[in-house]
């Protein structure tokens, strides 16, 4: 996908999250999500931190060459299903940080200011340049793809107790699916009966594999979850 396409996908991913949370009152923002222990407001704060990280990264050009791309970047972040380690510590920090706001809707206001700024910075970035984030150097389009993938997965996380909210947009979802396909490897394919959302949720450990899934996947089932 071109840099322009990656920029549009990120814009769609962030707009999708805004569409989910913008109509919620403080009670709605305290509904549960698929992320263990996190309410909607907690998870939104986590994604807000991603948008802030995007702004920093896009203003932090690196010499290159890149050491990871939009797929290999995720291999540095193994699944943390038991809640221990760095993932567990970050989850606790995010919950406490979100709780420090006077009211959950204040996080929505900060998100509404920050997400569009990150998208504008993405549009203005040098598509041939490299940036640094999380201790890695990436090409700008690859950075945007990682941000889009995370936003799409967390959009699905937000929907656990909000079944009437819209799914992520098609362009953003395509980027997330491409990431999972890359992690799955070239010679393995997802079961044909999976919807896009089901694939993303199972690939990230949000939904368990069924017996039929394991039969269809064969030895590939042992690779799941592809990322946490």
Q: Is residue 89 part of a domain?
A: yes
Q: Is residue 101 part of a domain?
A: yes
Range with the lowest mean pLDDT among 3-17, 122-136, 141-155, 180-194? 180-194
Q: Is residue 47 part of a domain?
A: yes
Surface-to-core class of residue 27, CB atoms within 10 Å of its CB (0-12 exposed, 13-18 middle, 19+ buried):
exposed
| pLDDT given at position 220 | 92
Q: Is the pLDDT of residue 88 over 80?
A: no
Q: Is 72 helix (H, G, I), strand (E, B) or coil?
A: helix
Q: Is residue 19 part of a domain?
A: yes
C-alpha 203: how far from its chain's center?
13
Q: Is residue 228 part of a domain?
A: no
Q: Is 24 helix (H, G, I), strand (E, B) or coil?
A: coil
| pLDDT given at position 86 | 57
Report which of residues 197 and 96 the model is more confident about: 197
Assign residue 45 the CATH number of its domain. Answer: 1.20.120.450
What are the tens digits of pLDDT across the range 35-55? 989 999 999 999 999 999 999
Q: Is residue 160 part of a domain?
A: yes
Quote the CA–CA distance of 21 and 19 in Å, as a whole number. 6
Q: What share of the chain is helix, strand, coil (3-state, %, to 5)?
A: 60, 5, 35
Closest by alpha carbon to 201, among 164, 152, 163, 165? 152
Surface-to-core class of residue 124, CB atoms within 10 Å of its CB (0-12 exposed, 13-18 middle, 19+ buried):
exposed
Quote the CA–CA distance of 198 and 204 in Å, as a whole number. 10
Name the token pair of 227.
């990322």
C-alpha 87: how far from its chain's center?
14
| Total of domains in the chain | 1
Which domain covers residue 127, as residue numbers? Answer: 3-223
At a CB cut-off of 8 Å and minimum separation 6, what does 112 contact?
Answer: 18, 22
218 phi, psi to nearest 5 deg: 65, -140
């Amino acid at each position: 996908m071109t840099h322009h396409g990656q920029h549009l996908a990120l814009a769609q991913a962030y707009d999708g999250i805004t569409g989910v949370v913008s109509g919620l009152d403080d009670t709605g923002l305290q509904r549960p999500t698929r992320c263990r222990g996190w309410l909607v407001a907690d998870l939104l704060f986590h994604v807000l931190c991603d948008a802030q990280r995007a702004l920093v990264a896009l203003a932090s050009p690196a010499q290159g060459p890149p050491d990871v791309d939009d797929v290999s970047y995720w291999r540095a972040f193994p699944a943390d299903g038991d809640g221990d380690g760095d993932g567990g510590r970050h989850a606790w920090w995010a919950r406490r940080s979100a709780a420090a706001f006077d009211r959950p809707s204040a996080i929505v206001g900060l998100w509404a200011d920050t997400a569009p700024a990150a998208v504008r910075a993405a549009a203005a970035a040098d598509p041939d340049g490299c940036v640094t984030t999380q201790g890695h150097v990436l090409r700008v389009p690859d950075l945007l793809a990682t941000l889009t993938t995370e936003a799409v997965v967390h959009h699905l996380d937000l929907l656990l107790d909000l079944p009437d909210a819209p799914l992520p947009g098609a362009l953003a979802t395509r980027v997330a699916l491409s990431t999972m396909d890359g992690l799955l490897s070239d010679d393995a394919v997802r079961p044909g009966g999976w919807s896009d959302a089901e694939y993303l949720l199972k690939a990230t450990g949000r939904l368990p594999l069924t017996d039929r899934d394991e039969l269809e996947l064969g030895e590939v089932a042992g690779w799941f979850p592809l990322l946490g």
